[in-house]
């Protein structure tokens, strides 16, 4: 039952950003990378797909917070 004993499966969550380059979040360990690879460089999970996550919604909310004072 070791953490690294068996192959984990996961997927990339692609975060599209307005003001930054896109990033990819591992669904298993939640670490963020600038590009997708076939396995997670951090936890070693085998990536089966990439899902889109509209991260720009967060960016817009952040702008609201800045100008909402
Ligand atoms: Zn990972």
User: Is pLDDT at 7 greater than 90 in this prediction?
Assistant: no
pTM: 0.67
Question: 28 C-alpha vs ligand 1 centroid, how far in Å?
Answer: 5
Question: 59 C-alpha vs ligand 1 centroid, how far in Å?
Answer: 24
Residue 46's beta-bridge partner residues?
A: 9, 39
User: Is pLDDT at 4 greater than 60 in this prediction?
Assistant: no
Residue 7 in tokens? 């192959």
Provide the pLDDT for residue 20: 81
CA distance 13 to 6: 22
Question: 32 C-alpha vs ligand 1 centroid, how far in Å?
Answer: 8
Provide the pLDDT for residue 18: 80
CA distance 54 to 50: 13
């Amino acid at each position: 039952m070791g953490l690294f004993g068996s192959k984990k499966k996961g997927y990339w969550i692609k975060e599209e950003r307005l003001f930054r380059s896109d990033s990819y979040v591992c669904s298993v360990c939640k670490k963020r990378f600038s590009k997708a690879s076939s396995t997670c460089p951090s936890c070693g999970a085998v990536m089966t797909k990439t899902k889109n996550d509209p991260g720009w919604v967060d960016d817009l909310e952040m702008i609201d917070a800045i100008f909402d004072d």
